[in-house]
Amino acid sequence: MSTLKDPVGPKDRKVYLRRRLIVLLALLAVVAVVVLIIVRPGSSGGVADASQVEVPEDLVESPSPDSDEAGGAAGESDDVAACAAGQLTVTPATDKGDYAAGEQPQLSLSVENTGEEPCSADLGSANLQFVIASGDDEVWRSADCQENPEHLAVILEPGAPLTTESISWDRTRSSPETCDISRDPVSADGASYHLRTTAAGVQGTGTAQFLLY
């Protein structure tokens, strides 16, 4: 009894083409899957380092002046009114009353809120001025050669004076024209000088007198 067998001879050319087409489509599908895996959101295969991505400057948000990054307490200044001129008392001060030859006077000022509520004042270097005079002769002004003046909003509590850091006076005359050259020394030998100050647009009360030897 005879049995039927599959033909052993060469197969039809269409069969080979069909098989090759199927294999090619399968390879293309695998490549597509790999590409999707590499570039899918959240994968590390796209950009190697996030620092290489440049963000347009107009999309970068600067820290708010009231934020912790800007060095202030968040939200505080939003609730505090600006100090009125009559609400502040500014007092000039020096570290000593007289100075031996070669000693440099240390100048400072204090600001007090005399009102009943906290208030905010600009106490940056742009709004602080120190002036030293001998009689009617103003021999030195801190604003003459000031560099990079800054603005700084400070909250002043009632009855709590705030004293600035001291600055040194080198016992020379100043003017806007002498910033880059050697300045002439002032007279000493017991000469009397007076320090006047201004803060946040408020003139200081009185002067701080001192002697130079």
Q: What is the pLDDT of residues 119-151, one digit of tens each?
A: 999 999 999 999 999 999 999 999 999 989 999
Sequence-distant contacts of 98-103: CB under 8 A, at least 24 apart: 98/210, 98/211, 98/212, 98/213, 99/210, 99/211, 99/212, 99/213, 100/213, 101/188, 101/213
Which tokens go with 112? 């007090």
Q: What's the pLDDT band for 79 if we cut at 50, 70, 90?
A: confident
Residue type for 170, please? D
CA dist., res. 189 & res. 211, Å (int): 8
Q: What is the largest CA-CA distance in the chain?
A: 142
Higher pLDDT, 114 or 53: 114
CA dist., res. 33 & res. 100, Å (int): 85
- Look at residue 17 in the predicted model and tell me its pLDDT: 55
Going by DSSP bridges, is the β-strand pair 128-134/137-141 parallel, antiparallel, or unpaired? antiparallel
The pTM is what? 0.63
